[in-house]
Amino acid sequence: MKVIEAREYVVNHLQYALNPKSIAVIGASRYKTKVGYKVIEGLTNWGYKGEIYPVNPRATYVHGRKAYKRVIDIEDEVDLAFVAVPAHIVKSVLEDCVAKNVKIAVIATSAFKEIGRGDLQNELTEYCRKNELPLIGPNLVGMGSPYLNFNCGFIPYLPIEGPVAMISQSGANLLAALGTSQKDHYGMSFFVGLGNKADVDFCEFIEYAGLDEHTKCLAIYVEGLDSSEAFVKSCKKVDKPIVVIKVGGSKIGEKAAFAHTASENAGTSDAFYDELFKEAGAIRATTWQEFLDVSLALGTQPPLAGDHIVMITNGGGSGLLSCDHFERLGLPLHELQEISPQLRERIKAYMPMFGSPLNPVDISGTASPIQYKGAFRQAMCDPNVDGVLGSICPTAVTDVDAVVDIIIELHETYKHLHKPFVMECQGGQECHEAILKLRDHGIPAYATAEQAVNAMVALYKYGQIVKNK
């Protein structure tokens, strides 16, 4: 239900959703495949240190813990109520939560507005708003944070620690991002599934993320905004980069978004959302891959101050894919002699005669770690250069490991220059491992040229947003 702006009591209570001292799992189950079992299992296995109170009127013990018939029977305070009971019982559960003075309620249960039960959902929302009990959901997967070993929902993994707060209406896509986090070292500060967002809305999590110490970038997956005004207001308040992906814009997608999270998109268009995100100072991603790639870069690198980007590669082909993609995205590379004639001359010392000091700078497939080091250092230190895009293509003579170590060292050495540094490493398993190692050292690294370019262009866009603030 619409909000005009983020409500202070909600923003203040979100700490209980992400860092609760105690959790009542209402609808706790003894059956291992049920949500009401999975959530306790997840909390326990991932190392939650607070109290867990299973609530189940027909059980004495759940997952080895004493069960309570109702949440009001619990002796101690309850910060978070995680609700996984059938839809028609949720109302009475919420009444108990209010009576118990629970700080926040999370409703995992589906089958509300998304299947036509809008009235029931609205009734719950109004009840919670009247009683100032923030409600997250319904129809969601859960939330968590790797910094707190907190995994609350039916979520098979925790992400690795990192800079991105992911706020997602879709559960499945959120889970995909969590899986990617582990596999591809995409680090997160916290994550939350909003589902139907009946009460707590994007705006409130955006303001919470703005205050969160671990969050350096917000990544937001939207199926529909019924509180677009509040969304824009909250984005403007936040002094961190924000990446948004908006789905449900296609003809059939409009219906699918309603069937999924009861999101209403009638009367909106892609152009409408383009404008809205522009006003909000948020960067819009088109594909899921771009959403992940761009948020990682924005979470780890400073904004790009200008468009003097130098690309250094040992593969002419990856250079070509990149410069074409830069131009496709409206940010064509400049020739090195335009950016810095001195750099053009200096960098020649680090390439063979068949290399190319254009831009992309092709130091050729024979490039040694020393040549990489020299070329990168010259580019980083040149005062006319705003950012550096590096690329490693493993030829039979490329020492990928040595080049990676050099890049990590240079990145550390020149951090004080506040110039963004993005890497591409295209190839097989050794490149995947290089990417992971670079990411572990705060360098956004990608498997294809276009991904790296997307990342650099997003850093440029954020640079422009910062300038215009």
Answer for which of 50, 118, 306, 427 binds a copy of itself (CB under 8 A) is 427
With beta carbons less than 8 A apart as the criterion, state whether 284 and 277 touch.
yes
Q: Does 169 bind a copy of itself (CB under 8 A)?
A: yes
With beta carbons less than 8 A apart as the criterion, state whether 283 and 461 touch.
yes
Q: Does 20 bind a copy of itself (CB under 8 A)?
A: no
**Cα(194)–Cα(107) distance, rounded to whole angstroms?**
10
**Cα(314)–Cα(395) distance, rounded to whole angstroms?**
9
Neighbours of 324 (CB within 10 A): 15
Answer for which of 182, 268, 337, 342 binds a copy of itself (CB under 8 A) is 182
- The distance of closest approach from Cβ of residue 209 to a copy of itself in the complex, given in angstroms and rounded to an integer, is 20
Q: Does 390 bind a copy of itself (CB under 8 A)?
A: no
Shorter beta-carbon distance to a copy of itself: residue 68 or 186: 186
**Cα(129)–Cα(1) distance, rounded to whole angstroms?**
10
Shorter beta-carbon distance to a copy of itself: residue 233 or 334: 334
- The distance of closest approach from Cβ of residue 368 to a copy of itself in the complex, given in angstroms and rounded to an integer, is 9
Q: Any idea how long the chain is?
A: 469
**Cα(465)–Cα(409) distance, rounded to whole angstroms?**
30
Shorter beta-carbon distance to a copy of itself: residue 57 or 330: 330
For 99-161, give the DSSP string. Answer: HHT-SEEEE----SGGGT-HHHHHHHHHHHHHTT--EE-SS--EEEEGGGTEEEES-S-PPPE
What are residue 52's DSSP bridge partners? 23
Q: Does 168 bind a copy of itself (CB under 8 A)?
A: yes
Which 110-129 residues touch a copy of itself, going by CB under 8 A?
110-111, 114-115
Which 336-355 residues touch a copy of itself, going by CB under 8 A?
353-354
Answer for which of 2, 69, 88, 183 binds a copy of itself (CB under 8 A) is 183
Answer for which of 12, 122, 448, 464 binds a copy of itself (CB under 8 A) is 448
Q: Does 289 bind a copy of itself (CB under 8 A)?
A: yes
- The distance of closest approach from Cβ of residue 434 to a copy of itself in the complex, given in angstroms and rounded to an integer, is 11
**Cα(41)–Cα(48) distance, rounded to whole angstroms?**
10
**Cα(203)–Cα(229) distance, rounded to whole angstroms?**
9
Which 127-146 residues touch a copy of itself, going by CB under 8 A?
139, 141
- The distance of closest approach from Cβ of residue 9 to a copy of itself in the complex, given in angstroms and rounded to an integer, is 29
Answer for which of 49, 252, 266, 267 binds a copy of itself (CB under 8 A) is 252
Q: Does 167 bind a copy of itself (CB under 8 A)?
A: no
Phi and psi based region of residue 141 (left: phi greater than 0; alpha: psi -120 to 50; beta: remaining): alpha
Secondary structure class of 350 (helix, strand, coil): helix
Q: Does 60 bind a copy of itself (CB under 8 A)?
A: no
Q: Does 64 bind a copy of itself (CB under 8 A)?
A: no
Q: Does 395 bind a copy of itself (CB under 8 A)?
A: yes
User: Mask: binding to a copy of itself, 147-166, rule CB under 8 A, as x and -?
Assistant: ------xxxxx---------
Q: Does 369 bind a copy of itself (CB under 8 A)?
A: no
Sheet with 22-26: strands ordered across: 51-55, 22-26, 80-83, 104-107, 135-136
Answer for which of 58, 416, 429, 469 binds a copy of itself (CB under 8 A) is 429
